[in-house]
Structures are given as C-alpha cells and as structure tokens.
Amino acid sequence: MVQPGAQHPFRGGSILVVAFEGWNDAGEAASGAARAVRDQLGLVERLEVEPEDYFDYQFNRPTISTDEAGRRVLEWPSVTLWAPVDGEGVHVLLGTEPSRGWKTFAAEIVDALEVAGITGIVFLGAMLADVPHTRPISVFAGSDNPDVKDFWALESSTYEGPVGILSVLSLVAEQAGIPTLSIWASVPHYVHNSPSPKATLALLDRLEEFVDLRIDRSALVVEASAWEDGIDALAEDDEDMAAYIKQLEQARDTVDSPEASGDAIAEEFERYLRRRNGRDDRPGGP
C-alpha cells in the first residue's frame, strides 16, 4: 500500500534491477526476470567485472561452445552492468554469484553504480519453498530503507544468519546512500531442477509495482502454462507427489487475507534461509 502524501523513492533518476544466478535464483526465476528487462529495454553492456578477481573456477566453471564461424569459444562466469543507450533509465546488473572477494566486489559494484547515477536498487531473488505449483506464486517484498518501507508499507526481514551476495550488496548500497528493496518469489521445491517461468512472471508483476516499467510477457505466459501442465502430468503418474501437492494446496488455501498471506510468505522466507544453512529443525524439510 502506498502511503498518502509520501514521496516516491524510485521516481526520477536511474533504477537498477539486480539478479544473480546460483544461491539466490531458484528455478532461474530472478535471472529470468532480469534478462527479460534487459532484452526488452535493449540495454547495452556498460561494465563487465573481471572474473579472475571474484570466481573460483572449480566452483563456477567456464563453459565451451562453438560459435557461428566454427571456432571453439570459452565463456567465463561473469557479472555485467547493462545500461540504456542514453545512460538514463532502468539498468540491470546480472551474472553469477561470486565465490570470493565479496567485500571488494561489493565496493567495486557500488562505485560503478555511483558513477552511473543509480538512485535506487531492486534486488530480485527466488527461493525453494513448500508451495504448490497450482496456486499463484507467493512473492515477498521488503526493505531496510525507512523511506522505501514507509512509502509502500513494507516490512524488514528479521532473519539473522548466513546470507548471499544480494544481502551484502544491499547493505553496502544503503551505507552509500542508495535506497534498496528486495523482491523474492517462492518456487515449489519439488520442481527445483527446471526453470520456473511462472515465478519469473510473478517477479515481473511485482517489479512493475515499484518501478515505472512495462515488460511484454506474452511468451512467458505461454511457457508458464506449459510448465504447470507438465507438472500436472507428472503428478498424475505419481500418487505420492499428487497427495503432497494436495496438502500444499490445502495449506495455501487457508491463507485468506492479504495480511495473513504477507505474514506467511515472510515466515517462509525466514525458514528458507535457515534451511539453506542447516538451521531448520522442521522434520522432513527438503
């Protein structure tokens, strides 16, 4: 909910959309949303981070392919800042989560954002959760910035423990005076091996609530429908999976009000972070 009389924290200037592949990107939903923004806005490469400084190639290995001329080409893990041709408007920071040097990496990125004139940042993430694929994707939006929280009546996360690069960059950006918010989608954990276009759609829908942006997602709508139909077909041949999905549907359907839904999503977000770090004591957790 937008608070009456408040000043829009992301109006004017240049807004950055951030997503990283890996720990923060269940179902490739966050990186998929960032790519959709980059491609449809026709952004151009402004800065590519030197991979030698931040990647362990035994953990994030380069890939090899053959180009149109028949030459063998190596592609290294990278992080790239994409910008509008005229330099103003929505930017995108997209790449693989670094495996080392996070302090230096965050400082380098924030320096580049200050040079680019970035006035606000939206971080996109996706987490594996106990949610059914047959219901709307749950999306949690939050911020630690007082102005951003007040304008949209958002909450701050109360999680304490190990974090990913999104949290590190968010804190460093806020310390540099750049307001931030985070949007996380919940991806059904029982289909974690495949991309989730339905979650990508949910992130884009929520992103447009905060940023003056309109993305054509007609192709994603078709992909999301096919994704859901494919999981339905798998469940028809697996009684245990079908029964489990039914339990998730019943649990989801008990969340009736928007307020309760927000609380449930925030709670799931906290459980996800604990679970990723071996701190969740729930029986049977994935």
For every residue of 200-266, DSSP letters joined together read HHHHHHHHHHHSS-----HHHHHHHHHHHHHHHHHHHT-HHHHHHHHHHHHHHHT--SHHHHHHHHH
Distance CA 145, CA 49 (A): 27
Q: How many Å separate Cα 198 from the centre of its chain?
A: 13
Which of 41-45, 213-217, 224-228: highest mean pLDDT?
41-45
Q: What share of the chain is helix, strand, coil (3-state, %, to 5)?
A: 45, 20, 35
Residue 255: predicted pLDDT: 63
Tokens 């790519």 belong to 35
- 12-33, pLDDT tens digit by residue? 779 999 999 988 899 999 999 9
φ, ψ dihedrals at 161, nearest 5°? 150, -170
The pLDDT-based confidence of 257 (bands split at 50, 70, 90) is very low
The pLDDT-based confidence of 269 (bands split at 50, 70, 90) is low
Residue 261 has pLDDT above 60, yes or no: no
Cα dihedral 216/88/105/94 (nearest 10): 10
Residue 213 near residue 34 (C-beta atoms within 8 A): no
Distance CA 193, CA 1 (A): 35
Residue 173 has pLDDT above 90, yes or no: yes
Q: Which residue has the higher pLDDT, 252 or 211?
A: 211
Distance CA 36, CA 42 (A): 10
The model carries a pTM of 0.84
Lowest mean pLDDT among 83-92, 110-119, 253-262: 253-262
Tell whether domain 14-276 is in CATH 3.40.50.10900.
yes
Distance CA 62, CA 244 (A): 38
Lowest mean pLDDT among 46-60, 126-140, 168-182, 257-271: 257-271
Residue 236: predicted pLDDT: 82
The identity of residue 62, as a single letter, is P
Distance CA 204, CA 238 (A): 32
Distance CA 55, CA 130 (A): 31
Residue 259 has pLDDT above 50, yes or no: no
Residue 216: predicted pLDDT: 93
Mean pLDDT of the chain: 85
Lowest mean pLDDT among 36-40, 203-207, 279-283: 279-283
Residue 54: predicted pLDDT: 95
Residue 235: predicted pLDDT: 83
Q: Which residue has the higher pLDDT, 239 or 104?
A: 104
Tell me the CA end-to-end span of the chain in Å, nearest whole number.
34
Lowest mean pLDDT among 31-35, 173-177, 217-221: 217-221
Distance CA 48, CA 112 (A): 10
- 91 burial class (0-12, 13-18, 19+ CB within 10 angstroms)? buried
How far lies 227's CA from each of 66, 148, 168, 234, in Å?
30, 34, 33, 11
Give the mean pLDDT of 215-240: 88
Domain locations along the chain? 14-276
Residue 112 near residue 91 (C-beta atoms within 8 A): no
Residue 6: predicted pLDDT: 55
Residue 148 has pLDDT above 60, yes or no: yes
